[in-house]
Structure 1
């Protein structure tokens, strides 16, 4: 993580303001608060989709290895889908994988992530606990780094405006 991103993430973690006052978000005209909470949820700019794709791609690298090649579009792991689809007709159960921009996972998603770690452990012979911790850490860092990028982008654009 770059120094500016790390510093901003640390400020957000400690709930310290990044700016002296609120301003207008240059991408959506919403209020960009001095703590950058808005940047984490702003619908403009594409960062939410980039964050989604990065989390999906990272989780895909953790899947237990299977002989079939990955599917196109969103990666499909049986019983683990990131978009609402016709799961029932395919014999799968839809589990929403909800994460906060702080890297905290919903209880249902946390169970699925533990199952992923257990499946990887069963194949690799490693212990599931440390694998689960590593998986959660990697996902949290990915989520938080995209949140920081969104904040940095908006702050730079607001200063230049």
Structure 2
């Protein structure tokens, strides 16, 4: 991680401000708070897509090392029940595993922020509450899980919080992938699993920090303020 990104992430972990005051970001019509929490879930700017693709590609490499024969964004995974249905155009699998635990499996990767309004009431007292809530949302969206089940495919949302914490079932699946890599390579499974989690966490947090710096720079250009004021009192 580059020094500027590391400092940005460290300041948030310590609860320090990124700027002297809140600002307004017209691109997404929202407040850019002085702690930059908004940057973790902002939909404008393209960072969310870049983060998603980077995480998907890295997990794909691990699934390949595990011998799981992964495929990215497999087309034609779902078959229509009627000629007029558009279900065949959907791609429920960011990564498709033709035989995981005995079943074809669609892994749907997503990242969510603990401070999302939908899960904020639980996030302060229940670990990975935001990830668990968003996993249910992903499964229910357009009936993805039900449609996959009807066609003999296991749908598995893999939800990561911007802090680097995984939803419980996703964490279990990642451990199985680490175990498969360990069996093929003869390496220690605990060390491999720690490495996988660290690498995925660093990717997620690097993209969050990059989103913060881009927004601070944009705000500075628009207002003439200092872009980032780390370690403000």
TM-score w.r.t. length of structure 1: 0.91
SS for the counterpart of 1:94 is strand
What is the match of residue 103 of structure 1?
A: 164
Query: 1:48-70 deviations in whole A, cap 9, x for unaligned?
Result: 1111111110101101135x573
Q: CA RMSD in A?
A: 1.8
Q: CA deviation at 1:27?
A: 2.4
Rounded Cα–Cα distance in structure 2 between residues aligned with 1:62 and 1:69: 9
For the pair 1:75 / 2:87, whether they are aligned, the reply is no
Rounded Cα–Cα distance in structure 1 between residues aligned with 2:215 and 2:73: 32
Which consecutive residues of structure 2, in runs of 5 or more, have no partner in the other structure? 75-93, 98-103, 110-143, 223-233
What is the match of residue 22 of structure 2?
A: 22
Q: 8 Å contact 1:26–1:158 — kept in the other structure?
A: no
Rounded Cα–Cα distance in structure 1 between residues aligned with 2:206 and 2:153: 32
**1:1-161 correspondence to structure 2 within 5 Å:** 1-63=1-63, 64-66=66-68, 70-72=71-73, 74-77=94-97, 78-82=104-108, 84=144, 86-161=147-222
Deviates most, 57-66 or 70-79 = 70-79
Which consecutive residues of structure 1, in runs of 5 or more, have no partner in the other structure? none
Distance 1:112 1:80, change over 3 A: farther
Q: CA deviation at 1:92?
A: 2.5
Rounded Cα–Cα distance in structure 2 between residues aligned with 1:71 and 1:61: 11
TM-score w.r.t. length of structure 2: 0.64
How many pairs are equivalent? 160
Higher-Rg structure is 2
What is the match of residue 136 of structure 2?
A: none
Q: CA deviation at 1:127?
A: 1.7
More helix by share: 1
More strand by share: 2
SS for the counterpart of 1:18 is coil
